A and B are shown apart, each in its own frame.
Chain A
Amino acid sequence: MAYLSELLGRQVHDAKGTRIGTLDDVLILPETNGDPYPRIVALAIRNRSHQPTLLPWGGTEDLAGNRIILQRPSATKYQAKGNELFLNRDVMDKQVIDIHGARVVRVNDLELAKIGDDYRLVNVDIGLSGLLRRLGWEDAFEHLTERFHRPVPSRSICFNDLEFVPRGDLKVSVARTKLRELHPADIAAILEDMSPREVGRLIHDMPDEKAADVMEELEPEFQAEVLRTLPDERAADIVEEMEPDEAADVLQEMQEDKRAQVFNLMEPDESVEVSALLEHPKDTAGGLMTTKYVTVPPDILTADALQRVRQEALAKEAETIYYVYVVDAEDHLVGVFSLSDLVLASPESPIHPITHYKAKRVQVTASREDVLELIAKYNLLAVPVVDEDNHLRGIVTAGDALDLILPEEWKIRLPRLF
Chain B
Amino acid sequence: MPTLLRRIRPLRTRLLLLLSVVGPGIITANVDNDAGGITTYSIAGAHFGYSLLWLLALVALALIIVQEMSARLGIVTGKGLADLIRESFGVRATAWIIGIVVFANLANTVSEFAGVAASMEIFCVNKYVSVPLVALGVWLLIVKGSYKFVERIFLVASAIYFSYVLSGVLANPPWDKVFQAVHTPTFHVEAGYVTIFVTVIGTTIAPWMQFYQQASIVDKGLKVNELGYERVDVIVGSLFAVLVAAFITIACAATLFANGIRIETAKDAALALKPLAGQYAATLFALGLLNASVFSAAILPLSTAYVVCEAFGWEMGVSRDWKDAPVFFAVYTALIVLGAAIILLPIRSLVEMMLASQTLNGVLLPIILIAMLKLINDKRLMGEYVNGRGFNVIAWTMVIALIALTAILVVTSLFPGVFR
Q: Which residues of chain A have a CB within 8 Å of any CB of chain B?
A: 5, 92-95, 103, 105-108, 126, 131, 134-136, 167-169, 192-193, 195-198, 200, 225-226, 228-229, 367, 408-409, 412-418
B216–A198 CB distance below 8 A: no
B312–A93 CB distance below 8 A: no
Apart from A92-B90, A167-B77, A167-B78, what are 10 other A-B pairs with CB-CB below 8 Å?
A93-B87, A93-B91, A94-B87, A168-B383, A193-B317, A195-B78, A197-B223, A415-B148, A415-B219, A418-B27
A131–B317 CB distance below 8 A: no
Contacts of B315 in A (CB 8 A): 103
Contacts of B380 in A (CB 8 A): 169
B302–A417 CB distance below 8 A: yes
A416–B221 CB distance below 8 A: no
Contacts of A195 in B (CB 8 A): 78-80, 218-219, 221
B218–A412 CB distance below 8 A: no
B215 CB-CB contact with A under 8 Å: yes
B183 CB-CB contact with A under 8 Å: no
A135–B83 CB distance below 8 A: no
**B385 CB, nearest partner CB in chain A, Å:** 11
14 A-B residue pairs with Cβ-Cβ distance under 8 Å, sorted by A, are: A106-B86, A169-B381, A196-B220, A197-B218, A200-B221, A225-B219, A225-B220, A225-B221, A409-B320, A414-B317, A415-B147, A416-B317, A417-B299, A417-B302
Query: B78, B87, B223, B318: which contacts A198 (Cβ < 8 A)?
Result: B78
Contacts of A134 in B (CB 8 A): 90-92
Task: State in angstroms the CA–CA spacing of A226 and B316 once bound together.
Answer: 20
**A123 CB, nearest partner CB in chain B, Å:** 16
Task: State in angstroms the CA–CA spacing of A261 and B92 once bound together.
Answer: 47
A93–B220 CB distance below 8 A: no
B146-182 vs A, CB cutoff 8 Å, 1 = contact: the mask equals: 0110010000000000000000000000000000000
**B342 CB, nearest partner CB in chain A, Å:** 24
Task: State in angstroms the CA–CA spacing of A136 and B91 once bound together.
Answer: 10
B216–A418 CB distance below 8 A: yes
A106–B313 CB distance below 8 A: yes
A413–B87 CB distance below 8 A: no
For B152, give the chain A residue with the smallest CB separation: A418
A414–B90 CB distance below 8 A: no
B319–A409 CB distance below 8 A: yes
Given A414-B145, A414-B317, also A108-B91 (CB < 8 A): yes
Given A106-B312, A126-B313, A367-B2, also A197-B91 (CB < 8 A): no
**A249 CB, nearest partner CB in chain B, Å:** 15
Task: State in angstroms the CA–CA spacing of A414 and B2 once bound together.
Answer: 27
Contacts of A106 in B (CB 8 A): 86, 312-313
**A368 CB, nearest partner CB in chain B, Å:** 12
A417–B212 CB distance below 8 A: yes
Contacts of A92 in B (CB 8 A): 90
**A362 CB, nearest partner CB in chain B, Å:** 15
Given A167-B79, A169-B381, A195-B79, also A226-B216 (CB < 8 A): no
**How many B residues, CB 8 Å from partner?**
42
Query: A94, A126, A225, A414: which contacts B319 (Cβ < 8 A)?
Result: A414
B212–A135 CB distance below 8 A: no
B306 CB-CB contact with A under 8 Å: yes
In residues 301-329 of chain B, which contact A (Cβ within 8 Å)?
A: 302-303, 306, 312-313, 315-321
Task: State in angstroms the CA–CA spacing of A94 and B89 once bound together.
Answer: 11
For A106, give the chain B residue with the smallest CB separation: B313
B95 CB-CB contact with A under 8 Å: yes
Given A93-B90, A197-B218, A226-B221, also A417-B303 (CB < 8 A): yes
Q: Which residues of chain B have a CB within 8 Å of any CB of chain A?
A: 2, 27, 76-80, 83, 86-87, 90-92, 95, 145, 147-148, 151, 212, 215-216, 218-221, 223, 299, 302-303, 306, 312-313, 315-321, 380-381, 383
**A236 CB, nearest partner CB in chain B, Å:** 17
Task: State in angstroms the CA–CA spacing of A226 and B218 once bound together.
Answer: 11
For B80, give the chain A residue with the smallest CB separation: A195
Contacts of B87 in A (CB 8 A): 93-94
Which of A134, A408, A409, A418 has the most chain B CB atoms closer than 10 A to its own CB?
Answer: A418
A412–B145 CB distance below 8 A: yes
**A162 CB, nearest partner CB in chain B, Å:** 13
Task: State in angstroms the CA–CA spacing of A409 and B86 once bound together.
Answer: 29
B151–A418 CB distance below 8 A: yes
**A147 CB, nearest partner CB in chain B, Å:** 20
Task: State in angstroms the CA–CA spacing of A226 and B216 once bound together.
Answer: 15
Top 7 A-B pairs ranked by shortest CB distance?
Answer: A106-B313, A196-B221, A197-B78, A134-B91, A414-B318, A225-B221, A195-B218
A131–B319 CB distance below 8 A: no
A105–B212 CB distance below 8 A: no
Contacts of B212 in A (CB 8 A): 417
**B106 CB, nearest partner CB in chain A, Å:** 17
Task: State in angstroms the CA–CA spacing of A416 and B83 once bound together.
Answer: 14
Given A196-B221, A228-B221, also A412-B2 (CB < 8 A): no
**B174 CB, nearest partner CB in chain A, Å:** 41
B215–A416 CB distance below 8 A: yes
A417–B216 CB distance below 8 A: yes
Contacts of B78 in A (CB 8 A): 167-168, 195, 197-198
**A387 CB, nearest partner CB in chain B, Å:** 19
Given A229-B221, A409-B319, also A418-B148 (CB < 8 A): yes
**B200 CB, nearest partner CB in chain A, Å:** 26
Task: State in angstroms the CA–CA spacing of A107 and B87 once bound together.
Answer: 10
Contacts of B319 in A (CB 8 A): 192, 409, 412-414
Contacts of A105 in B (CB 8 A): 313
Task: State in angstroms the CA–CA spacing of A300 and B383 once bound together.
Answer: 68
B221–A95 CB distance below 8 A: no
A131–B312 CB distance below 8 A: yes
**B308 CB, nearest partner CB in chain A, Å:** 12
A229–B223 CB distance below 8 A: yes
Task: State in angstroms the CA–CA spacing of A125 and B90 once bound together.
Answer: 15
Query: A169, A192, A408: which contacts B145 (Cβ < 8 A)?
Result: A408
Task: State in angstroms the CA–CA spacing of A418 and B150 once bound together.
Answer: 10
For B24, give the chain A residue with the smallest CB separation: A418
For A133, give the chain B residue with the smallest CB separation: B91
Which of A107, A135, A197 has the most chain B CB atoms closer than 10 A to its own CB?
Answer: A197
B219–A418 CB distance below 8 A: yes
